[in-house]
Structure 1
Amino acid sequence: MAAIDSLPPLRDVIATHELSAKKALGQNFLLDLNLTAKIARQAGNLAGSDVLEIGPGPGGLTRGLLAEGARRVLSIEKDDRCLPVLDEIAAAYPGRFSYIHGDALQVDPLAHLTPPIRVAANLPYNIGTELLIRWLTPPQWPPFWESLTLMFQREVAERITAKPGTNHYGRLAILAQWRADAKIVMDLPPQAFTPPPKVSSAVVHLTALPEPRYPADLKVLERVTAAAFGQRRKMLRASLKSLSPQIEDILNAVGIPPTERAEQVDIEHFCALARALATA
């Protein structure tokens, strides 16, 4: 395996610092530096961007991002066992890498980043979806990030990129694709990780749209999709009746048959429904 920098191979790093992956932290380490560099390349041209990384662990993706030319990388790491490794990376890339020791769900990194900003991470499985939803629902749009390049369990990746009429289509697909272009750009088998997880993984790349694809109030749209997919086997006239006593008339007015089920309705019609309910 070709070296991407002057630092030791990841297996040696893990052995030296006695870094066994912790299930409680959702850790599964990628040890192939060629693979982490390939993931970094999915984030696009990094030369003019700061990159935010969550959960660097032993620093495989961190080193990939730096080797691929990121202007600067800021990582957030909760596991204090990994900090000596990150110090070594900082010494090897002076002025281009720093980290915050803390919980990504509680730390606000924006004061430490300069736009344009991209996010790239092999996300800890136990907080990945929550972080994505936070990044997709900021108070202001467009968000602080230009793109997200994120590793998820394959099933979560399919939920993000699903199309209407498929089993994985639901609230997460609508939220992600309403405000971003989302696509799966890599698949990774369990054997790529140490320890191997029970499921396959995938990298999803999301590019923020300048404005949402269709006009709608976020909170109304979330309320509509929660009701619709909370009872996804029911017809919409039944699953949405709690939102308005005139729900059948409203559905007809925006071009949705009241007998339709949630998974058959595309994002444009969900947004039209949200607008109609907001003014009803």
Structure 2
Amino acid sequence: MTASRDPNRLLDRAGVSGNPDRDQHFLVDDRVLDRLPTHLDDDADRSHVLEVGGGTGALTDRLLATSDRVTVVERDPDLAAFLRREFDAGIEAGRLTVIDGDALEVDLPEDVTASVSNLPYGVSSEITFRLLPLGIPTVLMFQREFAERMAAEPGTSEYGRLSVSASHYADVEVVEPVPPTAFSPPPAVDSAVVRTTPRDPDYEVDDEAFFLRFVKAVFTQRRKTLRNAVRNTAHISGIDDPDAVVAAADETIMSKRAGDLRPDEFAELAGLAAEHGGGVEGG
């Protein structure tokens, strides 16, 4: 099967033109749209693909051409109704489901096998961290700065909480830059496509919620040494006795800054914090 719908004609049929004030930018570049499904790994399971933010269905059309089943979540009720009209044949055939609602609130299908989505940038972080714990491969469009931070390596200026948290769930790779001209209306920023491939981390954490909260806390003081960052952010991490954590940790680690610590070193430090810091039960 091949995609057959022109993205600009879809906009015309839907009677919409995009609204930057509502974080609404429609992807209209045929070449980018055609490539998005191909960024999934060759061995990825395409039997049930989730699309967050269906818009007028330009990407939905491509996903129906390359997947067995597609579920689309669309928060704009008018666009959700348009998708049901435009793709009524796919719905009748049982190959398309349109969920009307906010992707952060609706129940997602339990049997989705991958996600390919052009995310609304204003909530891209929240949606990403709803998708990553599902353990499915994803191809997601982001603001380019966000994409580069998500895939950043330790010791780089882009490396931060987002990098550590994303890499906890998956291998992360920026696979394609996308210019503003690929959208209607063009956003004020460059975009990029990110591929995530789920995998287990090469370290263990006893309390995932605390690990992620601890990473978030120390990165709020990324210019400080970890010795000071742990002490200064106990109100965020929930540690009762940060001095005990500092005393228990290796001096070499405590002398580093958050941006220089590998994810496995964060896991080790979070484990010490949970063991010696107290007050972290309940995540």
Q: TM-score normalised to the size of structure 2?
A: 0.86
Aligned ranges 1:76-225 → 2 under 5 Å? 76-82=73-79, 83-91=81-89, 94-110=93-109, 114-115=111-112, 117-136=113-132, 138=133, 143=134, 145-209=135-199, 211-216=200-205, 217-225=207-215
Is the partner of 1:150 in helix, strand or coil?
strand
Amino acid at match of 1:212: P
State the number of aligned residues: 264
Answer whether contact 1:13 1:85 (CA < 8 A) is retained: no
Change over 3 Å in CA distance of 1:248–1:27 after alignment to 2: same
Distance of 1:6 and 1:259 partners within structure 2 = 58
Distance of 1:266 and 1:80 partners within structure 2 = 43
Distance of 1:181 and 1:278 partners within structure 2 = 26
- 1:263 maps to 259
Q: Does 1:74 align with 2:64?
A: no
Is the partner of 2:87 in helix, strand or coil?
helix
Deviation at 1:246, TM superposition (A): 2.4
Q: Percent identity?
A: 36
Is the partner of 2:155 in helix, strand or coil?
coil
Q: Counting helix residues as a fraction of each chain, which structure ranks higher?
A: 2
Amino acid at match of 2:77: D
Is the partner of 2:122 in helix, strand or coil?
coil
**Deviation string for 1:89-121 (max 9, x for gaps)?**
2425732112011111110122xx535x10110
Q: Can you give the 5+ residue segments of structure 2 that lack an aligned partner in the other structure? A: 277-283
Amino acid at match of 2:41: G
**Deviation string for 1:120-144 (max 9, x for gaps)?**
10001111111112233x5xxxx3x
Q: Can you give the 5+ residue segments of structure 1 that lack an aligned partner in the other structure? A: none
Answer whether contact 2:178 2:190 (CA < 8 A) is retained: yes
Distance of 1:84 and 1:178 partners within structure 2 = 38
Amino acid at match of 1:223: R
Q: What CA RMSD, in Å, does the superposition of the two structures yield over aligned residues?
A: 2.1
Deviation at 1:6, TM superposition (A): 4.0
Distance of 1:221 and 1:251 partners within structure 2 = 16
- 2:19 maps to 22
Is the partner of 2:165 in helix, strand or coil?
helix
Deviation at 1:204, TM superposition (A): 0.7
- 1:55 maps to 53
Deviation at 1:24, TM superposition (A): 4.0
Distance of 1:250 and 1:107 partners within structure 2 = 43
Structure 1 residue runs of 4 or more that deviate by more than 4 Å after TM superposition: 45-48
Is the partner of 2:157 in helix, strand or coil?
coil
Change over 3 Å in CA distance of 1:247–1:29 after alignment to 2: same
Deviation at 1:212, TM superposition (A): 2.9
Q: TM-score normalised to the size of structure 1?
A: 0.87
Distance of 2:122 and 2:46 partners within structure 1 = 31
Is the partner of 1:119 in helix, strand or coil?
strand
Change over 3 Å in CA distance of 1:246–1:86 after alignment to 2: same
